[in-house]
């Protein structure tokens, strides 16, 4: 008759005190395993960033469109700046209008819609 599977073989001696106290060695990751762990952590961070960014942008509400003005016949950017904001430095306002509307040479035509800074 065969011995039960849960018994020790006969040739094993008694366990020494050092054998009983040894702790199992911690699991070691290979280089590939470390890369996988780092990539997974980065993916979670990116996912969390997108999720939190979407929530915060929705909380701010829809963006208000910039105010616009229509260019009259013979009007220049300088005159538009004087008309829309008479108390503001015209040089700075003309520069902002050029940047907002991607105007390279500052030329405008009658009927053109220009976005204005707030």
For the whole model, what pTM was predicted? 0.48
Q: Write down the domain spans for the chain.
A: 30-63, 68-115
What ranges in 1-118 are assigned the alpha helix state H?
17-21, 31-59, 77-84, 90-100
Fold classification of 68-115 (topology level): Membrane-bound Lytic Murein Transglycosylase D; Chain A (3.10.350)
The pLDDT, as a whole number, for residue 60 is: 62
The pLDDT, as a whole number, for residue 5 is: 59
Tell me the C-alpha distance between 97 and 77, whole Å: 8
Which among 112, 88, 83, 111 has a CA at the least distance from the CA of 100? 112
pLDDT in 10s for each residue of the chain, 118 residues: 565 656 655 665 565 555 566 777 788 889 999 999 999 999 999 998 888 877 665 656 667 888 999 999 999 999 999 999 999 999 999 999 999 999 988 899 999 999 999 8
């Amino acid at each position: 008759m065969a011995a039960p599977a849960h018994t020790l073989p006969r040739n094993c001696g008694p366990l020494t005190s050092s054998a009983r106290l040894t702790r199992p060695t911690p699991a070691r990751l290979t280089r590939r395993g470390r890369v996988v762990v780092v990539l997974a952590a980065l993916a979670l961070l990116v996912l969390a960033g997108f999720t939190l960014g979407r929530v915060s942008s929705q909380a701010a509400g829809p963006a208000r469109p910039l105010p616009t003005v229509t260019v009259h016949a013979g009007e220049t950017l300088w005159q538009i700046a004087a008309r829309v904001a008479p108390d503001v430095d015209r040089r700075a306002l003309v520069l902002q209008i050029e940047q907002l509307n991607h105007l390279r040479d500052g030329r405008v035509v009658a009927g053109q819609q220009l976005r204005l800074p707030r």
